[in-house]
Amino acid sequence: MTVKLQVEGLTKIFGHNPRAMLEKIEQGLTKETILKEFGHTVGINKVSFTVNEAEIFVIMGLSGSGKSTLIRCLNLLNRPTAGKIKVDGEDIAKYDGKKLKAYRQHKVAMVFQHFGLFTHRKVIDNVAYGLEVRRVPPAERREMAQKVIDIVGLNGWEEMYPNELSGGMQQRVGLARALATDPEILLMDEPFSALDPLIRREMQQELLDIQARLKKTIIFISHDINEAFKLGDRVAIMKDGVIEQLGTPEEILAQPKNNYIKLFVQDIDRSKILQAKNIMVRPNALVSLKDGIKVAIKEMEQAGISSIFVLDQERRLQGLVTIDDAIKALKEHRQIRDILQHTYSTTSPEIYLNELIQIATETKYPIAVIDDEQKLLGIIARVTVLSNLV
């Protein structure tokens, strides 16, 4: 994993003399005091994090937490008061004039909450805007714009004006416009918040599909924890201008750092976040095909279970043996391979919990988690599925 973006001690203070306030922060004055006594607003305060290449990094927080201020620092729409922003190892925070223009024209693009579309330009000319600014010749930029229009599913809308489109379609234009310049970093400032819930879900899925193809480094702002956890490879939760907790959705869900985070996580629909691989456990009893019936019975006895999975030498799942069948087989001197059952359910590790609920209520046995080669990765007891929902 390559680090694409590294933010170190980033601080942004609004007011007429923000630099003077840095000292006050050093002295330990709070945000509120600085606002009341000196009339300066601390937007973000010494924020540090890294974003890996091709990762979706979600910054989530309520309004006023500083998330929008932060993302605007990353393309210098807000100029940081202090700190470093390293893109591919180069500090861009001090960029000016030509360098800043080149950075914005080639490396980074932004999608806005209220779309920020140019209402006087047709869809195609909106999408081609970044290329036009870069002085790409008209025929070439039209061709490039058409390509991204196909990607985001805007075919046939090219000659319309943005205000003739629905909200969801408008944000597609916003996304296409950002993708048209083929940026390495995509900044998305609450891009789906202004859309209604159905469209929002559709757009989230579409973003994931596009990301699977294009593999951009995406920094995504959201105030919706479900959205954050659905999209984010890693999530940073912000409050009052600082990051409260940073980690993968599973990490945050498993170990909320404090009560504030706990409150957030409460609202979460866990069944849409947790995947089979997050809740599966290593089976504490297994038998191999070449083992005898006696071994199987002993294993079950020791583990206190009434059924056991059977593997071959490459750990591929062969079947399941129940204690009743095993005892019967022992009397009749039969082999394990003769009494194998296949009535259990299997799942891949990427399946979400909400899809397992149905299976869990129907099956008698634990659910086996297997990979593409049929190798057993773990098992999920029925009770685990249901208990993880609460």
Partner 1 sequence: MSYFPDSLRINLGIYIDRAIEWLMENFGGFFDAVSAGIIWFLRQIEIIMFFVPWWAVLIIVFLLTWKVINTKAAFVYTIMILLVGCFGLWESMVLTLAIVLSSVVFSMVIGIPLGILMAASNRFNAYTRPVLDAMQTMPSFVYLIPAVLLFSMGKVPAVFATLVYAIPPVMRLTDLGIRNVPREMIEAAHSFGSSSWQTLLKVQLPQALPTIMTGINQTIMMALSMVVVASMIGARGLGLDVLQAIQHLDVGQGFEAGICIVFLAIIIDRLTQSIGGKFKYPK
Q: Which chain residues interact with partner 1 by CB under 8 A? A: 72, 75, 77, 100-106, 108-110, 112-121, 129-130, 132-134, 161, 163-164, 177, 181, 187
* Smallest distance from partner 1 to CB 115, Å: 8
- Closer to partner 1 at the Cβ: 36 or 120? 120
* Smallest distance from partner 1 to CB 113, Å: 7
* Smallest distance from partner 1 to CB 209, Å: 24
Task: Give the pair of three-digit tokens for residue 5.
Answer: 């973006």
CA–chain centroid gap for 264, Å, is 16
Question: What is the amino acid identity at position 111?
Answer: V
* Smallest distance from partner 1 to CB 120, Å: 4
Q: What is the DSSP letter of 374?
A: -
- Closer to partner 1 at the Cβ: 189 or 299? 189
- Closer to partner 1 at the Cβ: 75 or 278? 75
- Closer to partner 1 at the Cβ: 102 or 389? 102
Nearest to 264 by CA among 247, 284, 285: 247
* Smallest distance from partner 1 to CB 100, Å: 8
- Closer to partner 1 at the Cβ: 185 or 379? 185
Nearest to 175 by CA among 157, 163, 161, 189: 189
* Smallest distance from partner 1 to CB 114, Å: 5
Nearest to 379 by CA among 304, 293, 322, 320: 320
Residue matched to tokens 């924020």: 47
* Smallest distance from partner 1 to CB 180, Å: 9
- Closer to partner 1 at the Cβ: 182 or 233? 182
Those residues with Cβ within 8 angstroms of residue 100's Cβ, 6 or more apart along the chain or in another chain? 76, 92
- b/e string for 93-111 if b means 16 or more Cβ within 10 A? bebeeeeeeebbbebbbbb
Distance CA 231, CA 58 (A): 7
Task: Give the pair of three-digit tokens for residue 181.
Answer: 């310049």
Distance CA 74, CA 19 (A): 19
Which contacts of 21-30 are long-range, i.e. CB under 8 A and separated by 24 or more positions? Answer: 21/81, 22/81, 22/82
- Closer to partner 1 at the Cβ: 103 or 309? 103
* Smallest distance from partner 1 to CB 234, Å: 24
* Smallest distance from partner 1 to CB 89, Å: 21
- Closer to partner 1 at the Cβ: 36 or 99? 99
Q: Is 334 exposed, middle or buried (0-12, 13-18, 19+ CB in 10 A)?
A: middle
- Closer to partner 1 at the Cβ: 49 or 161? 161
Residue 1: HSE in the Cβ half-sphere, 13 Å Cα cutoff: 9
